[in-house]
Amino acid sequence: MRVEMMTVPDCPNGPVLKERLLLALAGRTDVELTEHVVDDQAEAEHRGMYGSPTLLVDGRDPFAAPGTEAGLSCRLYRGADGRIGGAPSVEELRQVLGTRTGADQAAGRAGQCRLAPVERGLRAVQQTVLRSFVTTGAPPESAELDSAAEPVGVPATQVLAELAAEDFLTLDDTGRVQAAYPFSATPTEHVVQIADGPTVWSMCAIDALGIPVMLGTDAVITSADPVTGDPVRVEFTDGKTTWQPATAVVYYGARPGTGPAAAVCCRYLRFFTTRATAEQWTGQQTQLSGTVLDQTEAERLGADIFGPLLTTPTR
């Protein structure tokens, strides 16, 4: 199957569509995914681009209405619930791609973008929280959060509550940041040593793989196979990634139900030393659905979800 994604330069909905595509295609080995940035009307007509973003499956746009003209304008999609958005939902993509799994929540926010909106100070506060983890290994203090929220005239506590409601982060009973994907304020089995930086915990295996890309730096990830207890180590060095053991994989799954990613799927996105131990472990979990990702698939998912979080401006 050939899947092509086309966007105009800096299309804000491009990353949203790509994340949802990666969720919809997780575990598929028979798909060739390519991306094209189009900035010329003639090229848009040649490629069959009906606005940005456009998705072609084996050369056909499954979402284009009859009579739609090719072009570079911003494209909107109407979902089954009648809502309008900048990209099809994960479920709609699975329908046209012929893929269905139970891991809709596995990358968090049901396939919606992990980057908070600019409005109401959400992105500014989110990025302040993330940068605090990057530099100190812990969430920021109240004064730093108040400073980030001050330009929009909204209390930081209110911004944090909205970020938590939209599952960009989680709060403890006192309102302090407990997790800000990909980071955890409390110990987890996934430890990331950032080069020239602190040692941090990540919420899951995919989050751990996204941290070095998000920061553009070297890092060492250590975790363990939950079946054997044997270590799994992933080193990011000079743009290259080395996995130990070489047979290591990631399981990407979720339990039934709704809720934040921290509750629904984070403990089901784990490193394993082999595909066999991943399948053994998943066979022991009740009502768990998902798939085993190879190293390339897992790295790509982590990079695409978390790569843009600190490079995208707050306004």
Residue 273 confidence (pLDDT) above 90: yes
Instruction: Say if CB 295 and CB 215 are below 8 A apart.
Output: no
Q: What percent of the chain has pLDDT over 90?
A: 56
> Which tens digit of pLDDT belongs to each residue from 72-86?
998 888 876 667 788
Q: Would the pLDDT of 280 be above 80?
A: yes
pLDDT for residue 99:
56
Give one word for 116, left, alpha or beta, with left for phi > 0 and alpha for psi -120 to 50. Answer: beta
**Domain 119-183 part of CATH 1.10.10:** yes
pTM above 0.75, yes or no: no
Residue 113: per-residue pLDDT: 64
Q: pLDDT at position 29, please?
A: 67
How far apart, in whole angstroms, are the C-alpha atoms of residue 213 and residue 267? 22
- pLDDT, tens digit (0-9, with 9 covering 90-100), for 158-172: 999 999 998 899 999
pLDDT given for residue 104 in this prediction: 40
User: For the CA atoms of the chain, what is the radius of gyration?
Assistant: 20
pLDDT in tens, 186-235: 999 999 999 999 999 999 999 999 999 999 999 999 999 999 999 999 99
Whether pLDDT at 66 is above 80:
no
Measured from the Cβ of residue 95, the count of other Cβ atoms closer than 10 Å reads 15
Lowest-pLDDT range of 38-42, 157-161, 227-231, 266-270? 266-270
What pLDDT, on the 0 to 100 scale, is given for residue 106? 44
pLDDT of residue 257: 63
Note whether 2-100 and 191-306 share their fold. Answer: no
What percent of the chain shows pLDDT beyond 70? 91
Neighbours of 101 (CB within 10 A): 20
List 180's β-bridge partners, or say none: 183
| CA 9 – CA 110 distance, rounded (Å) | 26
- 65 band by pLDDT with thresholds 50, 70 and 90: confident
| Tens of pLDDT, residues 122-142 | 999 999 999 999 999 999 999
Q: Which CATH architecture has domain 2-100?
A: 3-Layer(aba) Sandwich (3.40)
Alpha helices in 109-179 (DSSP H): 122-136, 142-149, 156-165
CATH topology of domain 191-306: Beta-Lactamase (3.30.450)
Q: Domain boundaries in the chain? A: 2-100, 119-183, 191-306
Q: Where are the beta strands (DSSP E) in the chain?
A: 2-7, 32-37, 50-52, 54-57, 71-74, 77-78, 84-85, 170-171, 177-180, 183-184, 191-194, 199-202, 219-224, 231-237, 240-244, 249-254, 269-272, 289-293
